[in-house]
Structure 1
């Protein structure tokens, strides 16, 4: 999308809920298909509003009702992926976000790297594809300057382009209304418009982190650390307790080229480097803050949020005061604080209980789940419960580093007692030790895409997530794989894919892999098995042809190309992570120009050409044709001299 079209296309989906006129009890439907039921007849009575222009006295109507298929609470990375996937799968969707920006901990407000399976034991990532990769690529194309504030707007741009999705910013889901074991509606408060919304939906997804919507629905949840005995977890404490991993504040400093004095504010809490017992509390990287400036809780970490924020501010400025004024860090003489977060990045609070609780053993033993829909592989990174206030223990234990990824099942992504409630992110059904790995944002993104697709399917079939898991899990997995999600140990087996029924596949040249691998069901090279699942040409242009024994009718061809999932592409603020496992700019391997042809009545003809491609999953939709063969021609990339494909699908 051209940049000039951003506001023209994007803004309607984001603010439609607050700009459409609603008079009396009139009903209307906006461009995204969201049904507005009008107000509930209540007006504020205490207002004394004199309209100068009309000479009238008015009483504002600030209560409205909305009706959709799916409501997503929370606009972090998991919530964005859930909302987009639900909308794309056919559900009219609303996403409410309680901040002015999207992407949660990855936003400019917090600036945590969007890590996931960022590096396995050999150093390489197993990078997430699907919706989260589309967001990251959208940022790479439109934010080459790596601005955190522009990143916010690129996520906003991407999400608000979805026609089935309405995004409501500065809006928090504060109270669920239930009937029996189902949520019927959720009361939301939009702080900027002073408006109370009641949103009715069929399926509800809580991706808000703290999970207020799910908690007020009566969904079972727990917090704190399980003892070793409950799940036989060797890295758990001997006895259960109430400690939760803490929240961190990040800062950025800048070399000003001259000495920069610093005076600590009154709220600063003194820090002494001599109390630091381990290598992870390093003060060397003064440019980009210290993740270990962190405070946890052994009581109510949600209720203590503001107290924790205040203490974190004190600790952060205390650490910086030590860096600047202790005399032990002369390298900081010319540095000054350039940006300091005001919102802590949380790691843990509520964990809602599903039909399965994912545990340390599931991760370490790489348990195979028939209902797997996502994956992770960050280390078991359990942070010191007290954070910077407990310097006797290491900043994080880093119990175990994975060599290969583990599976995440659908059964830990829906409530076991609220029948139309799903969740994704750090609030899912896992033990405390398992959370130390699953909480990473890229991993949460895989959960988000899974539950968004699941919710839309539940709406379409009029069933619960549990029924979907028990009776339709294959259909859900097939849709996720088609949409470029990755599920370990689960190849695609879509019987509707006509490419699997060809009698021959021919490539113009091959330097790696085999063209026949394009229909084997795996759309990436499987790292842990050193398994190749691609076709790569010797040069460009190059083509691969798919031949049927007789004419078939097709109207869709879907191609998965190469974005090098062995390199990370998230926004970075720390130069220490810019290494051989990270790539700047747009991946050079990504296809830029691709042409699709079909053989009709013995002659080849061009069906479509995609130029300036920006995605790994390239979709060609056209009027139905009868053909005996299709040919995909790779014309150009963003720098690579060869072309690589992982999958080609054809549909009627």
Structure 2
């Protein structure tokens, strides 16, 4: 009996060892066709995915070559979701293997949960085949991964921890990523704040890595989001500030301009690539921070397309992610949501502390067409009527979702999808019910990358508040001059009446302020020794954030951080050490009186 059991055990062990899995991440497809990479939910999925963003017109197939260890029959699994299951959404697509379409249609399951779906069995007759995703609607069908397995009873994991381990094993990712080298300054986030921080530090002689999780720079000012730059650079207490911001400024094309070139993606990239001290890493999402006590020693990023992991060592780091991603990974103190009046003493603060944050916008635009165009009915979208609809040919900032109903970090995908349901539902109504105005108007552009306003705010040695702003307090370390109003958005009253709890349209009340300065102590972490920050995630209250968050102001923060980093390198001290021991020299640089020697 023991011999028989031993033989059976060995047989089962050999059989399990012989299982063949062929795992394909869709973001790594050789030919994306009309599909786009979305990394906005990396923090909750540990992966990117691709999406058929065709604005109601089916997009071209995405395809890639897949190599198999042996020919034969394989079970196929597709990881996807139904993004608008009301009761079934429009994101339908098919999968084809060497031109043969799998019968099942994916993306219309009625479940908005990411999970593996059984695609049946395929017969692989050669070692290399073409795998393709065929979009059926143009309405944002999405696919995370495809798995072929010759183990008939194998079920790929859905739980995040198990799935992440499975991904890493199938992708042959090791615990030792490739090294990008060591840098004086590592800037995480390539929006206006991050690009200005990188340029400022590089021009002061530092060796800089600039890491951006998208293929373009500029963040909300890029062609992917299309928000114009606001805040004045010509009212500075220190006129030297704002020079780099002006270089990055491509004029004012407004919000949601349908012409992508108006936002100057190439110009921004050319400026960065022209800096000999900057190494640029696009398409790289930083997901890990390494520390020794309260000092960051390195960060690790993953390429959103290839999944290649890269490690960046540094002396100083700057969190310019907007979400405070690096600070969060490093254990920096942060705040998210509104403080109470009792806590801050601010007259505009909330009565009670809560999770309310300003929302995320997905802008859109239409253009006139020479002939009559159509747009399908959208029963899965938000529903509009003669009584309530938004009669616009393009959006502005008011198209905004969040307001405490969603977490702007962990529910970024749901926020974007809610915005899409509003956009497509309203546009469908206009096209089909107001034909006299819209019959020759065509949807030309819709952002699939969300333009965030608020998430984490990292805590520094000073927390800027309403009184600092309105009283115009000038602290000894006053640096960036800010001019924008206290601009705190809230759900539009009429929108709330018709879409209570599902608001997607905002209002605001601008509270004017005189130009004021932001203390340098708001630009570095209170508890992580070598962490700077610039952008909307600096150290402020929710109320003060309403004024500091606009991009020209954020860009000037980046300039200050670059200057301060050069001094920190020169004196081998910390960001706090600059405030405590070398503030006059930093102020001298801001005045244009002195330049920090190159380290």
- Cα 1:495–1:128 change in 2 (3 A) is closer
> Does the alignment pair 1:324 with 2:431?
yes
Match of 2:475 in 1: 369
Q: Is the 8 A contact 1:353 1:416 kept in 2?
A: yes
**CA separation in 2, counterparts of 1:146 and 1:305?**
25
> Does the alignment pair 1:228 with 2:341?
yes
Aligned residue among 510, 534, 556 for 1:424: 534
Match of 1:178 in 2: 291
**CA separation in 1, counterparts of 2:371 and 2:234?**
38
Displacement of 1:101? 0.4
Match of 1:312 in 2: 419
**CA separation in 2, counterparts of 1:258 and 1:343?**
30
Match of 1:105 in 2: 220
**CA separation in 2, counterparts of 1:230 and 1:119?**
34
- Cα 1:273–1:441 change in 2 (3 A) is farther
Aligned residue among 333, 339, 346 for 2:445: 339
Match of 2:562 in 1: 452
Aligned residue among 519, 525, 546 for 1:436: 546
**CA separation in 1, counterparts of 2:259 and 2:408?**
33
* 1:271-322 deviation digits (Å, cap 9, x = unpaired): 357458xxxxxx5652x31322211134632111111111111011122233
Unmatched tracts of structure 2, length 5 or more = 1-66, 71-127, 129-171
Aligned residue among 257, 260, 268 for 2:373: 260
Q: Is the 8 A contact 2:338 2:354 kept in 1?
A: yes
Displacement of 1:478? 2.2
- 1:342-491 equivalences under 5 Å are 342-384=448-490, 390-391=496-497, 395-402=506-513, 404-482=514-592
Q: Is the 8 A contact 2:250 2:262 kept in 1?
A: no
Match of 1:523 in 2: none
Equivalences, count: 417
**CA separation in 2, counterparts of 1:230 and 1:261?**
54
Match of 1:64 in 2: 178
- 1:128-167 equivalences under 5 Å are 129-136=242-249, 147-148=260-261, 151-167=264-280
**CA separation in 2, counterparts of 1:107 and 1:260?**
29
Aligned residue among 208, 211, 236 for 1:96: 211
* 1:417-465 deviation digits (Å, cap 9, x = unpaired): 0010010111111111111121111110011111122112211211011
Match of 2:144 in 1: none
- Cα 1:47–1:72 change in 2 (3 A) is farther
- 1:188-199 equivalences under 5 Å are 188-199=301-312
**CA separation in 2, counterparts of 1:468 and 1:446?**
18
Match of 2:191 in 1: 76
- Cα 1:182–1:495 change in 2 (3 A) is closer
RMSD over aligned CA atoms reads: 3.4
* 1:45-99 deviation digits (Å, cap 9, x = unpaired): x9979xx9xxxxxx99982122111100000000000001111111100010000
Unmatched tracts of structure 1, length 5 or more = 1-45, 53-58, 121-125, 277-282, 483-493, 498-652
Displacement of 1:127? 12
- Cα 1:203–1:339 change in 2 (3 A) is same
* 1:121-143 deviation digits (Å, cap 9, x = unpaired): xxxxx997310101226999xxx
**CA separation in 2, counterparts of 1:242 and 1:304?**
13
**CA separation in 2, counterparts of 1:326 and 1:481?**
59
> Does the alignment pair 1:116 with 2:231?
yes
Secondary structure at 2:476's aligned position in 1? coil
Aligned residue among 316, 325, 329 for 1:212: 325
Match of 1:606 in 2: none
* 1:181-232 deviation digits (Å, cap 9, x = unpaired): 1111111112334321111101000001112211010000010111122212
Q: Is the 8 A contact 2:369 2:441 kept in 1?
A: yes
**CA separation in 2, counterparts of 1:118 and 1:370?**
20
**CA separation in 2, counterparts of 1:389 and 1:186?**
43
Secondary structure at 1:201's aligned position in 2? strand
Q: Is the 8 A contact 2:589 2:595 kept in 1?
A: no
**CA separation in 2, counterparts of 1:434 and 1:304?**
24
Secondary structure at 1:370's aligned position in 2? coil
Q: Is the 8 A contact 2:339 2:349 kept in 1?
A: yes
Match of 2:137 in 1: none
- 1:1-20 equivalences under 5 Å are none
* 1:582-641 deviation digits (Å, cap 9, x = unpaired): xxxxxxxxxxxxxxxxxxxxxxxxxxxxxxxxxxxxxxxxxxxxxxxxxxxxxxxxxxxx
Secondary structure at 2:276's aligned position in 1? coil
**CA separation in 2, counterparts of 1:155 and 1:48?**
44
Secondary structure at 1:113's aligned position in 2? coil
Secondary structure at 2:480's aligned position in 1? strand
Q: Is the 8 A contact 1:262 1:321 kept in 2?
A: yes
